[in-house]
Structure formats: structure tokens, C-alpha cells
Structure 1
Amino acid sequence: MRTQEMALLVRDALLLPDGRLEVRIVEPRYLRMVAEVLKGKYPLAFGMFRAKSDLPCYPIATQCEIIDFNLLEDDSLSIVLEGHQRVKILSAYEDSDKLWMGKTLPCLNWAEEPIRGEFELISAALEQFYQVNPDLFELYSKMNLEDAAWVSQRWLEVLPMYNKDKLMLLNQPSCHKTMDFVLQLIKSHVD
């Protein structure tokens, strides 16, 4: 595996492979970054904000692409990102106008696997969550509710948890601990 330099877009949110996220871009430096990414100057990685660190975000980020954009009424730009590949950020630096660039190394994405047994509950609950949150639901042309990795990652993106706790689950070799965690969370609110 070889390292690659990527532009880092850092927010207090999580984007994982096959996930989608809408981000509002206001500052001119970020508009320049979006333009350079779209021109193919460098790839884009999305990272969860982390205060008091050498890096601007947690060391696990997601390489993503801009799949849509809209000019908003206030002249800011709304972009829709789609996650593809998890990456480890080895180092980062700020360029001349304070945009972060990072040296990254690809990480393994969680493998697809079917949801079975009692874990079908987390898939059904995610489908309900998206129905009551149409802004998120509209980002997806297709939902992969039969894939445990896809469902687990979507839960991690939307659950109100500390980023460090999300990272602990993300560092697992598979989605199983996340599935267990979400199932217990759902069951505790049903009982």
C-alpha cells in the first residue's frame, strides 16, 4: 500500500464508506478546495473534528467524492459527499490559506455480510429512522439494508455519541461490535 496526499475536510460529523453527507461550504478557502478537488488536483478525505491534537481530526478518515452540489439562497455552496475508502492519516499540515492536507494510507473497509436473526431489528430501526428524517433519506438513491456493514456504518454516522467512542467501534476489524452496541441500545429503549 502506498501513501497519498489528500485535502482534509474536517467537521464534527462522521462519514463512512457508502455513506452520504451534505456539507455547507461558506469560506472562500473551502470553495477553492472544492474546485481543486473537482478538477482532480488531489483527492478529498473527510475527518471527524478532534480538539487538542497534532492532527485536525481523528486519525481515521474516509476518502470521498463530491457527487452533487447546489448554490444556496445565501450564496453559500452545499455539497453532497459520498464515502468510499477508509484511510489512516499519518501526518497533516496547513497550506498557505489554512486548508489542511494529509498524508494518508488506505485501511480495510468492513466486509459486506448479510444481516441475520435478531440483528434484522437494527436494519428495520434504521429504515424507520430515515423515514422520519427525510433530509437524510433523500441523500440515498438506494439503501442496502440487508448488509450488516452498511447498516452499522449508517448508525455510527447518525448516533449522538462522542467522536472518540465512535472511533473505538470503527477500529474494530468488523461491524460486529457496532451491531451488538446498536442492538442493545434499541432493546434498552423498547423495554
Structure 2
Amino acid sequence: MQSREMALFIQDAVLLPNGRLEFRVALASELSLVASVLKGEYGLAMAALKSNSNLPCYRSVTECEIIDFHQLEDNSLSIVLEGKQRLKVLSAAKQRNGVWIARTLPCANWLHEPIAGEFEIISAALEQFYQVNPDLYDLYSHVHLEDATWVSQRWLEVLPMYNRDKLRLVEQPNCHKTMDFVLQLLKSHVDV
């Protein structure tokens, strides 16, 4: 495996492969980062913010692409990112313009698996979540509610959990622990 330099877009959020999230870009360092990426100087990786650390983010990040952007009414920029490949940060340094550049290695993405049995409730609950949150649903041209990996990764992106807890699940070899976690969470909510 060969390491690659990536510009880090650091936010208090988690983006995983095949996921899409929209972000407001207003800081000068964020605009510099977007410009560097669009010029082809660096690849882009979405990183979850981590405080009280030598690195500004967790080591598990996701390579992503800017798939859409537009100017907001306040003249700031809105970008839509799509996750592609899981990566591990080996080292990172902050440039003078405030952009963090990381040396990264690719990690295996979770393999696609069909949802079956009692886990179908997780897919149905995500579909309901998207009905209540159409802005998130509208980011996708296709949803894959039949795919356990896709569904569990979307849950990790939207659940109100600490990033460290989300990333403990992300670092598992497959989606099974996440599926179990979300199923137990949904069952406990129904039992209340």
C-alpha cells in the first residue's frame, strides 16, 4: 500500500464511504483548502474533530470528493462531500494558510451485505428518518436501504454520539457491530 498526502477537512461530524454531507465553508483556511483541492494540488479527506490531542482529528478519516457547491445568501460557500475510501492518518502538519495536510494509508471499506431478518427494522427506521429530514435525503440520487453496510454507515453519520464512539464502530472489520448497536438502540426506544 502506498501512502498519499490529503488535505484534511476537519469538522465535528463523521462522513463514511458512499455517504453525503453538506457543509458551510466560511473560514479563510477552509476556502484555501477547497481551492487547493479543486486545483488538484491535494486529495480531500473528511476528518472528525478531536480536541486535546497532537492531531486536530481522529486517525480514521474518509477520502471524499466535492460533488456540488453553491454560494449561500450570506456569500459563504456550501459544499456537498461524498465519501469514497476509508483512510488512516499517519502524520499531519498545518500549513501557513491554516490547511492541515496529512500522510494517509488506505483502509479496507466494509463489504456490501444484504439486510435480513430482524435487521430490516434498521432500514425501515432510516427511511423514516429521511422522510423527517428531507434535506439529508435530497443529497442522494439513490438510497441503498437493502444494503446493511450502506444503512449502518448512514446511521453512524446521523446518530447523536461522540465521534470517538462512532469511530470505534467504524474501525471494526464489517458492519455487524454497528447493526447490532443500532438495532438495540431502536429496540430500547420502542420499549420506553
Structure 1 residue 41: deviation in Å? 1.1
State the TM-score, normalized to the length of structure 2: 0.98
Is residue 181 of structure 2 the alignment partner of residue 181 of structure 1? yes
Is residue 120 of structure 2 the alignment partner of residue 120 of structure 1? yes
Structure 1 residue 36: deviation in Å? 1.7
1:69 is aligned to: 69
1:156 is aligned to: 156
AA aligned opposite 1:112: H
AA aligned opposite 2:185: L
Structure 1 residue 99: deviation in Å? 1.1
Question: In structure 2, what is the Cα distance between the partners aligned to 1:71 and 1:159?
Answer: 28
Structure 1 residue 188: deviation in Å? 0.7
1:19 is aligned to: 19
The CA RMSD measured in Å over matched residues stands at 0.7
Moved more, 34-43 or 6-15: 34-43
AA aligned opposite 2:59: P
Q: How does 1:133-172 map to 2 (within 5 A)?
A: 133-172=133-172
Structure 1 residue 162: deviation in Å? 0.8
Is residue 55 of structure 2 the alignment partner of residue 55 of structure 1? yes
Q: Deviations over 1:79-103 (max 9, x none)?
A: 0000000000000000012211100
Q: Deviations over 1:60-86 (max 9, x none)?
A: 000000000010011000000000000
Long gaps (5+) in structure 2? none
Long gaps (5+) in structure 1? none
Question: In structure 2, what is the Cα distance between the partners aligned to 1:99 and 1:59?
Answer: 17
Structure 1 residue 32: deviation in Å? 2.0
Question: In structure 1, what is the Cα distance between the partners aligned to 2:92 and 2:132?
Answer: 38
Q: Deviations over 1:136-187 (max 9, x none)?
A: 1111111011110000000000000111111111111000000000001001
Question: In structure 2, what is the Cα distance between the partners aligned to 1:97 and 1:42?
Answer: 14
Question: In structure 1, what is the Cα distance between the partners aligned to 2:94 and 2:124?
Answer: 43
Question: In structure 2, what is the Cα distance between the partners aligned to 1:79 and 1:18?
Answer: 16
State the TM-score, normalized to the length of structure 1: 0.98
